Amino acid sequence: MRRINQIIRYAWVICSIALLTQCDKPDPGGEGQDEPLVFTRLTAARDTIFTEDTTRLSAEASGYNITYSWWVEKGDLIGSGPEIIFVATPCTVGNNPVTCTVTDGNQQSKSLKVTITVF
Amino acid sequence: MRKLIFFVFLALPSIASAQCFSSAGNPVGGSNNMGNLDKRTLSLVAFYHNSYSDRFFEGDKPSSISLIDKARYNFMGALMAYGFSDRFTLEAEAGYFIDKTKFYAIPEGYSLKGFGLTNALVSGKYQIYYNPVKKIEFAASAGLKFPFSLKSMEVNHVRLPFDMQPSTSTIGGVIQAYLIKQHSLTGMRYFLFSRFEANGTNRDGYRFGNSLVNSVFVSKHLIRTSMWPISGTVILQVRNEIRGQTFIREIPEPASGSFKLFLSPQINLAIREKFNVSFMVDLPVYQYYRNAQIADKISFSIVLNKALEL
């Protein structure tokens, strides 16, 4: 009897965890799924900087369940989401196009570029 | 049976968080059993490597660049070698970066962390010459290194800079040569070791510079009593590392390539001649970098080795 009680208790804990985890999952037919993906703009606080300097990049987009992906050939990108920091490392002298791709929950994606010039 | 000769050579990035490609494209991390294994001998090696730096160099002088507060990496790896015959040994090695982290001075307080599997290497080693009387051995090996993923690593959908990537994301080749001379009476051993690595171009158009590493090892047995199950060997390694320039879409990257000289004291404890523990420190003696790159400062390694006769 004690063993059965123990099993029931464990099962209850596991079910509770499973239910709580379920809450985080996106609703497949959820609200806003029909919202179109719009990538309004990608801007840099300063688009001309010196090495050893930084500039903040911001992406403005709307849509359903958006993720922001960032890519640059040279230099470091710190952070994640709609705002990141570009770090002008010594190898970035010249033009550095930074690409931001927004992808929505329907797997639609759009990209924009902003060029940071480093002296 | 010939005694297993175990000395540590770690072909690791000089400083994994190196700025602007001073690491040689994250070469395979590994260690080597110097010389060939006997037939049906299996050698298992596990190692941990830690590297730290807090300075830039331009040429052979410290630079005034203060972008990075410090950079470090923690790396662990494994190597498995098997003697198919007394002349041929097959080796496989792989490693994992627990972290490759840059701590920025500008912007202050920020850090960037990479991690993940490095390239794996599979190579065959052949004993070209062995003289049991003069105790001289010459062996050479060739291998293919390959990534576990062809895609560059991203963290939170942000692609890591190339000096933070755990692997080259492309295939490459490795050629190694070993020359070993032993003096049984004095307990001294001398090794010459060379390793050349060539890298392919990855999907993003990056081709990490080729590297050539030459090492000279001199070793001396410390404890030789038969009653004591542990014997010690002290080893001094002098290592030269030459890193070629990195190419991005076939254009050479100006801030890449280096020439370095290291002194690496090492102690190896052999427990009952079957199990080895090694401790090693890498001290840069001379460093030259093309343009500004993060320079090496200090690193250390712990290596475990077990040999099995199957």
Q: How far is B199 from chain A (nearest CA, A)?
A: 19
pLDDT band at A59; cut points 50, 70, 90: very high
Q: How far is A86 from chain B (nearest CA, A)?
A: 10
Q: Provide ipTM, 2 decimals.
A: 0.77
Contact state of A77 with B158 under an 8 Å Cβ cutoff: yes
pLDDT of residue A116: 95
**pLDDT for B185-229, tens place per residue?**
777 889 899 999 999 999 999 998 999 999 999 988 776 666 777
The size of the A-B interface in CB pairs under 8 A is 69
pLDDT band at A13; cut points 50, 70, 90: low
pLDDT of residue B17: 37
What residue numbers bound the domain in which A103 lies?
38-118
Contact state of B65 with A90 under an 8 Å Cβ cutoff: yes
* B67, B101, B102, B113: best to mutate for the A interface, most A CBs within 10 A: B67
| CB count in 10 Å sphere of residue B92 | 15
Percentage of the residues of chain A whose pLDDT score is greater than 90: 56
The rounded distance, in Å, linking the Cα atoms of B169 and B171 is 7
pLDDT of residue B7: 58
Q: How far is A36 from chain B (nearest CA, A)?
A: 21
pLDDT higher than threshold 90 for residue A114: yes
pLDDT of residue B19: 43
Contact state of A91 with B255 under an 8 Å Cβ cutoff: yes
Domains of chain B in start order, with CATH, are 19-309 (2.40.128.130)
In A, which residues are within 8 Å of B110 by CB distance?
Answer: 78, 85
Does A74 reside within a domain? yes
Does A90 reside within a domain? yes
* Lowest model confidence (mean pLDDT) among A4-8, A44-48, B249-253: A4-8
Pairing of strands A109-118, A48-49: parallel
In B, which residues are within 8 Å of A85 by CB distance?
Answer: 107, 110
Does A98 reside within a domain? yes
pLDDT of residue A24: 46
Q: Please measure the distance between the N-terminal and C-terminal CA atoms of chain B and give it in whole angstroms.
A: 13
Contact state of A89 with B161 under an 8 Å Cβ cutoff: yes
pLDDT higher than threshold 50 for residue A52: yes
Q: With a cut of 70, list the residues of chain B below it in pLDDT.
A: 1-35, 223-226, 273
**pLDDT for A14-42, tens place per residue?**
656 555 554 444 545 567 788 899 999 99
Percentage of the residues of chain B whose pLDDT score is greater than 70: 87
pLDDT of residue A7: 58
**Which residues of B lie inside 8 Å of A (Cβ-Cβ)?**
19-21, 56, 65-67, 102, 104, 106-107, 110, 112, 154-159, 161, 164, 204, 248, 253-256, 291-293
Among B112, B158, B256, select the one facing A70 at the smallest CB separation: B158
Contacts (Cβ under 8 Å, ≥6 apart) of B207: B25, B170, B199, B200, B201, B246, B247, B248, B250
pLDDT of residue B107: 81
Percentage of the residues of chain A whose pLDDT score is greater than 70: 76
Q: How far is B157 from chain A (nearest CA, A)?
A: 5
In A, which residues are within 8 Å of B101 by CB distance?
Answer: none
Task: Map tokens 């960032």 to a residue.
Answer: A70
Among A70, A85, A90, select the one facing B20 at the smallest CB separation: A90
Q: What's the CATH code of the domain at A106?
A: 2.60.40.10
pLDDT of residue B109: 86
In chain A, the number of structural domains is: 1
In B, which residues are within 8 Å of A74 by CB distance?
Answer: 161, 248
pLDDT of residue B31: 47
Looking at per-residue pLDDT, the higher value among A88 and A29 belongs to A88
Backbone angles phi and psi of A19, in degrees to 5: -65, -40
* Closest to B13 in 3D by CA, of B33, B34, B31, B27: B27
The rounded distance, in Å, linking the Cα atoms of A97 and B74 is 31
pLDDT of residue A69: 95
Residue B288 vs residues B21, B38, B67, B141, B198: alpha-carbon distances, Å: 14, 40, 19, 29, 21
